[in-house]
């Protein structure tokens, strides 16, 4: 798979949660490059500890001739999610695609993980996916179908390497989406999870990866996830659905 051709998502509207930097930013840019109008959603309205804002990503899309809307959104807060989805629908007329990418890392051993970090991982990585997914489903249904994609991690299957809050929260997301695929098949909505095949050295990983050195052969560029996400974004229930995909397996 080399990505869907330019214009293949023309007329579609995508809501990308966690789109101010890293994997989410690259997916937002790729969706716009394929012709979709993109709601660039995240909390980052101003530069903070990590680089990247929703406005910078939206501006990059519009400068390239695409259509984008910067949407402030805290995925762990119900009212914020509902307001962000409503703003997207008001601007673009509906939603066809969700990329649920917002996440925080919690990679330390369970016995040394503070409750606050554990709860944050669950609030953002799991409850956040639940909230944005629940909010957009009626809009996809109204359009006659669409695609839901949750970004997870290959760490879910690495049980021989122990446990941490991040992997646990992402494992729950995979169960949520695998079950949701069956629920939404009658509505012609594809539901899939997408994980990197290898480590993507995003700004968040570099800041929260615990100083781990990752050999080059164990990393992949963010563009691999972007290409795979564009392919999944073009699905409905007649195509790929109810799966957990790895980025490089779709290329």
pLDDT tens per residue across span 50-106: 778 999 999 999 999 999 999 999 999 999 999 999 999 999 999 999 999 999 988
Q: What pTM did the predictor assign?
A: 0.90
pLDDT tens per residue across span 107-142: 899 999 999 999 999 999 999 999 999 999 999 999
Homologous superfamily in CATH for domain 13-250: NAD(P)-binding Rossmann-like Domain (3.40.50.720)
pLDDT tens per residue across span 221-243: 778 899 999 999 999 999 999 99
Q: Establish whether 166 is a catalytic residue.
A: yes
Domain residue spans in the chain? 13-250
Q: Terminal CA-to-CA distance of the chain, rounded, Å?
A: 4
Active-site hit among 166, 167, 177, 205:
166
C-alpha pair distances (Å), 147 with each of 45, 137, 217, 235, 242 = 27, 10, 32, 6, 11
Q: Are 195 and 152 in contact (CB under 8 A)?
A: yes
């Amino acid at each position: 798979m080399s990505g869907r051709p330019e214009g293949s998502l023309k007329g579609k509207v995508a809501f990308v949660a966690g789109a101010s930097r890293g994997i989410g930013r690259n997916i937002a840019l790729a969706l716009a490059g394929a012709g979709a109008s993109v709601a660039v959603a995240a909390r980052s309205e101003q530069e903070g500890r990590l680089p990247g804002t929703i406005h910078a990503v939206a501006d990059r899309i519009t400068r390239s001739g695409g259509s984008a809307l910067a949407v402030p959104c805290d995925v762990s807060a119900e009212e914020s999610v509902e307001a962000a989805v409503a703003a997207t629908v008001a601007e673009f007329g509906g939603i066809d695609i969700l990329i649920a990418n917002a996440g925080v890392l919690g990679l330390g051993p369970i016995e040394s993980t503070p409750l606050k970090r554990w709860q944050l991982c669950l609030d953002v990585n799991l409850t956040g996916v639940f909230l944005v997914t629940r909010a957009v489903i009626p809009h996809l249904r109204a359009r006659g179908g669409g695609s839901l994609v949750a970004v997870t991690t290959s760490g879910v299957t690495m049980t021989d390497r122990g446990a941490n809050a991040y992997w646990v929260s992402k494992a729950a997301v995979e169960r949520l989406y695998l079950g949701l695929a069956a629920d939404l098949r009658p509505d012609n909505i594809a539901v899939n999870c997408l994980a990197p095949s290898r480590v993507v050295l995003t700004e968040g990983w570099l800041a929260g990866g615990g100083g781990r050195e990752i050999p080059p052969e164990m990393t992949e560029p963010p563009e691999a996830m972007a290409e795979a996400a564009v392919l999944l974004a073009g699905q409905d229930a007649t195509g790929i659905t109810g799966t957990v995909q790895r980025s490089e397996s779709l290329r």
